[in-house]
Structure 1
Amino acid sequence: MVFEEKGIPNGEPEDEEEEEEEEDMVDPLDTVRDKCAQAEHCIHTRAKLEDCESRVGSKSETAEDCTEELFDFLHARDHCHPETDTSLILSLSLAELSKQLKGGTLTPEAVFHSYVEKTLEVNRRLNCCTEVLLESWDQLEDIGSHKDGLLYGVPVSIKENIGYKGHDSTCGVICKLDLPATGDSVLVEVLKRQGAIPFVKTNVPQSLLSYDCGNPIYGLTLNPHNPQKTPGGSSGGEGALIGGGGSVLGMGSDIGGSIRIPSSFCGICGFKPTANRLSSRGASSCSRGQKSVLSSFGPMARDVDGLALCMQALLCDHMFRLDPTVPPIPFNQQVYQRSKPLRIGYYENDGYAMPSPSMGRALRETKALLESAGHTLVPFSLPRLSYAMHELVLRGFSGDGCATMLSNLKGGPVDPSLRVQIIPYGLPRTVKKILSILIKPIFPRIGASMESLCGASSVQDLWRQHADVEDYMHEVMAEWRRCELDVLLCPMMGPAYNHNYPGKLTSAVSYTIMYNLLNFPAGVVPVSKVTAEDEEELRHYKGNYGDLWDKLYRKAVTGGEGLPVAVQCVALPWQDELCLRFMREVERLFREKKK
């Protein structure tokens, strides 16, 4: 079933002849399944039309009817089972929910129906979901055989690009429509083995290479705290759904901050593990083969313990057997539970993109709390950050001259949120170089970025770039060792941007994408909210460069009073449990501060 899209007109409903059946012979769930099948068939039929505007711009009212039927079915079920306390179920953390499911205090059926109903409600407001996975109802019927699983009975939402048998993983691009997965991805298989119930797919930005969240197929997703703001991306549907209360646990992917940014914008916790700590087998991508900046799959949840429980469940023998390329390293609970003081590096401004006032304040407040708790805080800075952003990140992403990304956008409309971002991508290499020469004297950062979009000039040049990435990783780790750090505290992008600004501000991802380049595990924890004082200070924001990007940034985050603000926690490669332990410490200190 595909949900009704906000801002996209519905098509005219087709006349249907209803078969006469005796009312006591009709199963409401079967009716829902039939309606959903009809809706999906209708949408896929439309998606095959030659006119792309028609393919993505018209929706059958059958899809909306299907949503309403499912909503009514769940309401009817609640009336039949008034003992179900939906509000209590939805208020529980993942750890508490799991404990009550295993103890029998709650049934998987009650939990599942509560979350499906809440998801439908949240989606009506935010357009954060792409389809309900109707197979989850069948899995629910057989859930008793997985009672020993660490996630027994837990409904889980999954990002649209994560493969689920029989369903598309479009990444928001037309060329991937009508290519349903022939089998479950490894992550989905392991989630099911651990007793979790993947029940809904969530929206993404077109191509996944953006931190907005809109595409021509499923429409625009809104922020749960303010509909005028983006939920972030590319795991934006996940952030919006969890932040809006419609899911307790979700799975996302992160190639430049795509888990961390929506987690920050939506006020939840998110974790990007070391690349290949979790399997990516069976997931869809628009940048497959790019190796300079690595992608990771990871969990998103309301609290850090939820992230850790998910990692513990996924890092099991079943995943290691399904994907032997994943190092067989189980979750180290002992490291996660440690409480000894840490030696923590920190920086407030990376020198490339000046943080917003609320970002800087959140960092300073977190630093003060950590110091008062007995941890040692040490100033730290990433060496040669401008070089790393231009020569390693941007040139690596554009190694093929942006040809792969552009090829995925052929045959269909480009979403408004991505349009500005890709304008320079399609320019001839010579034009990019000329523009770079002209722009650099006036706007050095923008000019250098334009030159980087030329990509590699040859295979030899690409290999040299890969070697430079390795050298830079060791340079950063040498500085880390010199400072004798355990972990690193740094600002996290935020608050949530106004719609359509992320495509104009790729510069701001320096705070997140560096840890994809370095392959360091990183996670975010919400610690504060934007204040009126932050907004007043923002009026005087000049940035580090005073260029067009700095001016756009001030406009992007204006109007954020009351929105969540987070900090970012980082560790060295394969020290994922230590990173989570640091995140849990930050979370604990702010919870105690509120008491």
Structure 2
Amino acid sequence: MDRVNTTSAVCSVFAGVLTCYVGLKVYKKRQVKKKALKKREESRRALQDVQRSVATDDPLTASKRREILSLTLAQLSQQLRDGQLSAVQVLQAFQEKAISENDKLNCLTEPVPDALARAEGLDAGGGKEGLLHGVPVSIKDNVNIKGMATTMGVTKHLDIPADEDAVIVQVLKKQGAVPFVKTNVPQTLLSMACSNPVFGETLNPVDPTRSPGGSSGGEGALIRSGGSVLGVGSDIAGSARIPAHFCGIHGFKPTAYRIRWASLVSSHTGPVSLLSSIQKEQKRLGAIIWLDTRLKVVVSAPGLLARDVDSLALGMKALLVPDMFQLDPLVVPIPFRQEIYDDKKPMRIGYFPALQSCPPTPSMGRAVIMAKEALEKAGHTLVVFDPPDQMYAIMDLAFRLISADGGKTFYTEWLKDEIIDDRIKSQVSLMTMPYYLRNIMGFLLRPIWPRVSRNMSYRLLGSIYELWQRLVEREEYIQKFLADWREKELDVLLCPAFAIPACKPQHAGPIILAASYTVLFNLLNFPAGVVPVTTVTEEDDRLLDDWRGYGNDLFDRLFKQTSRGAVGLPVAVQCVALPWQEEKCLRLMKEVETVCPV
């Protein structure tokens, strides 16, 4: 009897502890949700305050603002430097437009508090030497602005203001720019949808039922809707280029460390963390190792988004200045070479309309052929280029390096005790699923869907030795790619921007393979940009009926499902150059923009 009573008492205590634990978890979730909603409401009120402060009933002022919004970046910066426009005048025009568009698209997170004071200071000062004097610039959420939280869509960072501006923001300010709003991102940046529990979901301005892309989705939506003329984003797997393609604007990723990445926050710091541990271990063993973490892993780069290529070129020119090189001596001190961008000599351009391991849907392949034929008519030489597309090499190698710490940084530092956004749950589940379970699922799917099997069962790096092997594979892949490039004697390269047009938000996680076209050039560390050249046609939509992709597997079916009904959506091509040849890449983008006006 005593034994029964003891067992009963133990069970009661265990049940009580379990109840308290569950209750505490529920309480914490409620507090997190409450904190997120509070921040969203604070942001909404701050934006409304700015909206009220710039509202006008004066028809002349309203007319002038419409004129300002219609100017290109080059025209706007010239009129600001000439004194035809004031910085305050221009700022208020873009503030009004941006917040108005935000009411429809939810593309903003917060206004930059000191934007008006900065514009007033520029008008009061005498100097107008900066290339971007008085130009309002939108800034992606993960770029530090002093005094503002860099949230990444998680609540644990809402109360931690940045100590200083990111280097890129400091340089923009030295060039006279006025950062005026921060823009929305997917939670932790790892999604092609643009949604998080703090600020909600951003819509595509072309079609609100579609994603604006990620992770610079807020930037893409804002610029396409006319609320900004130049935006700062980031790019590790296409985060600037995918939103540009989805929204029908221009996006550009330079070579890593041509522009400083410092003070841009990332959730995928695993490679750097693991490499740091390697350095510590080698030091403990008494070895001296020179390891450049910037060039040995898949690294993020700042990205620019704009309405046209000239605006991207002007943005790069404004950033590649002595101020950038002095603020960060790790940046390669190469100023913008205008003569390369302005060169008119015919180019030898390689092109490919598809990757073997991830065939694009009909509209995407058609866009490349369309641009290829137009470039040939303009006097350029186009040659077929077959990229080394060893099955799965691109996505498998790239994402194993991105998640080299087994996803621990991604989950423990960002998502632990957070509300996980619905749009990234599939990625989180896959990254945190035990390897043995993923391996079993992959084995079962291998006979039916080999690509899906590979995606399910890839092994995260579990040791220093495995990391070294992957780095060797990466270097071998780069050398093979460069050898093929040299053999074809290419100046630049033309290819699809993505595998599909803008997807539906609910498909953003499962279609990750579509990013093969963008992550390839992060893996290689080549500069790359996207240019809209056409839109999805009725014929493109009809051709989906017979399109089978790689083999009509799960990925192909998702591509087909999310691409249906996409008539009218923008379609871009991607332009690529060798490392440190940003000007040549931008020149090809300009050529494409000229011969394929949308």
**Same fold, judged at TM 0.5 (above):** yes
1:392 pairs, out of 384, 387, 397, with 397
Superposed CA offset, 1:244-288 (max 9, x none): 110000001000000000001111101000011111111111012
Q: Are 1:75 and 2:55 an aligned pair?
A: yes
Structure 1 stretch displaced more, 147-156 or 457-466: 457-466
Moved more, 59-68 or 346-355: 59-68
Question: Are the structure 2 counterparts of residues 118 and 93 from structure 1 closer, same or farther at C-alpha, using a change threshold of 3 Å?
Answer: same
Does structure 1 conserve the Cα–Cα contact (< 8 Å) formed by 2:306 and 2:312? yes
Determine the C-alpha separation between the residues in 2 that align with 1:488 and 1:585.
12
> Which secondary structure state, in structure 1, belongs to the residue aligned with residue 383 of structure 2?
strand
Q: Corresponding residue for 1:559? A: 565
In 2, Cα distance between the equivalents of 1:557 and 1:516?
25
Give 1:263's aligned residue.
244
The 1:460–1:226 alpha-carbon spacing in structure 2 relative to 1, beyond 3 Å, is same
Q: Do residues 139 (structure 1) and 145 (structure 2) align?
A: no
**Of the candidates 375, 380, 385, which is equivalent to residue 380 of structure 1?**
385
- CA-CA distance at 1:394 after TM superposition: 2.5
The change in CA–CA distance for 1:412 and 1:110 in structure 2 (over 3 A counts) is same
* Aligned residue in 1 for 2:195: 214
How far is the alpha carbon of 1:430 from its aligned partner? 2.0
- Counterpart selection for 2:468 from 458, 463, 471: 463
1:61: Cα distance to partner?
Answer: 5.5
1:354-404 per-position Cα deviation (integer Å, ceiling 9, x unaligned): 212111111111011011111111111211342422541122123222222
1:497–1:387 distance in 2 versus 1, CA, 3 Å: closer
Alignment pair present for 1:480 and 2:485: yes
Q: Report matched runs for 1:397-408 at 5 Å.
A: 397-407=402-412, 408=414
Contact 2:203 2:212 in 1 (8 A): yes
Q: Is the 8 A contact 2:29 2:417 kept in 1?
A: no
2:103 alignment partner in structure 1: 124
Q: Which residue of 1 aligns with 2:339?
A: 334
TM-aligned CA deviation for residue 158 of structure 1? 0.5
Q: Is the 8 A contact 1:49 1:55 kept in 2?
A: no
Distance 1:534 1:464 in 2: 42
Q: Shift of the alpha carbon at 1:175? A: 3.0
2:207, 2:485 → 1: CA distance? 39
Find the counterpart in structure 1 of residue 218 from structure 2. 237
Tell me the equivalent position of 1:55: 35
| Residue of structure 1 in register with 2:543 after alignment | 537
- Whole-angstrom distance in 1 between the partners of 2:186 and 2:43: 21
How far apart are residue 435 of structure 1 and its match? 2.4
Question: How much has 1:48 moved relative to structure 2?
Answer: 9.9
- Aligned mate of 1:182, from 154, 159, 163: 163
- Which of 59, 66, 89 is matched with 1:87 structurally? 66
Three-state SS of the structure 1 residue aligned to 2:58 is: helix
Whole-angstrom CA distance in 2 between matches of 1:497 and 1:260: 14
The DSSP-based 3-state class of the residue aligned with 2:302 is: strand
Q: Aligned-pair distance for 1:209? A: 1.4
Matches within 5 A, 1:240-251: 240-251=221-232
Q: Which amino acid aligns with 2:559?
A: Y
Q: Which runs of 5+ in 1 are unaligned?
A: 1-46
Matched, 1:581 2:587: yes
Q: Does residue 100 in structure 1 map to residue 106 in structure 2?
A: no
Of 497, 509, 513, which aligns to 1:507? 513
Following superposition, which runs of at least 4 residues in structure 1 exceed 3 angstroms of deviation? Answer: 47-50, 57-69, 80-84
1:114-160 per-position Cα deviation (integer Å, ceiling 9, x unaligned) = 00000010100000000000111111111144510000110000100
Contact 2:150 2:161 in 1 (8 A): yes
RMSD, aligned CA: 1.8
Retained in 2: the 8 A contact 1:224–1:243?
yes
* Aligned pairs (5 A) from 1:155-170: 155-170=136-151
Residues in 1 aligned to 2:209 and 2:130: alpha-carbon distance in whole angstroms: 40
Cα distance, 1:75–1:471 mapped onto 2, change above 3 Å: same
Q: Match for 1:561: what amino acid?
A: V
Q: Deviations over 1:148-185 (max 9, x none)?
A: 00001100001000000011111122332211101111
Pick closer, same or farther for the CA change 1:391–1:492 going to 2, 3 Å: closer
- Distance of aligned partners of 1:83 and 1:129 in 2 relative to their CA distance in 1, 3 Å threshold: closer
8 Å CA contact 1:231, 1:266 repeated in 2: yes
Could you report, residue by residue, the CA deviation over 1:195-232 in whole angstroms, capped at 9, with x for unpaired residues?
00000000000111111100111100000011100000
Q: Does 1:112 align with 2:91?
A: yes
Instruction: Point out the more displaced range, 307-316 or 464-473.
Output: 464-473
Find the counterpart in structure 2 of residue 498 from structure 1: 504
- How far apart in 2 are the matches of 1:508 and 1:109? 42
Supply the distance in 2 between the matched residues of 1:458 and 1:376 (Cα, whole angstroms): 47
Where in structure 2 are there 5+ consecutive unaligned residues? 1-26, 272-295
Change (3 A) 1:62 1:196: closer
Q: Quote the Cα distance in structure 2 between the aligned partners of 1:66 and 1:191.
A: 24
Query: By how many angstroms is 1:342 displaced?
Result: 0.7
Deviation by residue 1:503-549 (Cα, 9 ceiling, x = unmatched): 01111101110000000100000111111111111233211121111
Cα distance in 1, alignment partners of residues 531 and 45 from structure 2: 38
Match of 1:441 in 2: 447
Does the Cα contact within 8 Å between 1:390 and 1:448 map onto a contact in 2? Answer: no
Does the residue aligned with 1:528 lie in a helix, a strand or coil? strand
Contact 1:84 1:110 survives alignment (8 Å): no
Out of 317, 325, 328, the position equivalent to 2:330 is: 325
Q: What TM-score, normalized by structure 2, do the two folds share?
A: 0.88
Aligned residues of 1:156 and 1:250 also touching (Cα < 8 A): yes
8 A contact 1:346–1:490 mirrored in 2: yes
Instruction: Identify which of 183, 186, 199 aligns with 1:205.
Output: 186
In 2, Cα distance between equivalents of 1:59 and 1:337: 46
Aligned length: 544
Match of 1:226 in 2: 207
Opposite residue 204 of structure 2, the aligned amino acid is N
Question: Which amino acid is the alignment partner of residue 130 of structure 1?
Answer: T
What secondary structure is seen at the aligned counterpart in 2 of 1:574?
Answer: coil
2:293 is equivalent to residue 287 of structure 1: no
Per-residue Cα deviation, 1:64-119 (whole angstroms, up to 9, x for no partner): 4443343232123x629638611111111111111111122222121110000000
SS in 2 for 1:488: strand
Residue aligning to 2:321: 316
Letter in 1 for 2:257: N
**Is the partner of 1:500 in helix, strand or coil?**
helix
Distance (whole Å) between structure 1 residues aligned to residue 61 and residue 396 of structure 2: 61
For 1:301-312, what aligned pairs fall within 5 Å after superposition?
301-312=306-317
Match of 1:415 in 2: 421
In the alignment, the residues of structure 2 paired with residue 356 and residue 466 of structure 1 have an alpha-carbon distance, to the nearest angstrom, of 32
Judged with a 3 Å threshold, the aligned counterparts in structure 2 of structure 1 residues 356 and 387 are, in CA distance, closer, same or farther, namely closer
**Does structure 1 conserve the Cα–Cα contact (< 8 Å) formed by 2:212 and 2:246?**
yes
When the two structures are superposed, what TM-score results if normalisation uses the length of structure 1? 0.88
Contact 2:270-2:405 within 8 A present in 1 as well: no
Letter in 1 for 2:581: Q
In structure 2, the CA distance between the partners of 1:240 and 1:317, relative to structure 1 (3 Å rule), is: same
The percentage of counterpart residues that share the same residue type is 47
1:357 partnered with 2:365? no
Q: Assess if the C-alpha contact under 8 Å between 2:270 and 2:408 holds in 1.
A: no
Asked if the contact 2:40–2:199 (Cα under 8 Å) also holds between the matched residues in 1, the reply is: no
**Structure 1 pair 363–181 and aligned structure 2 pair: CA distance change class (3 A):** same
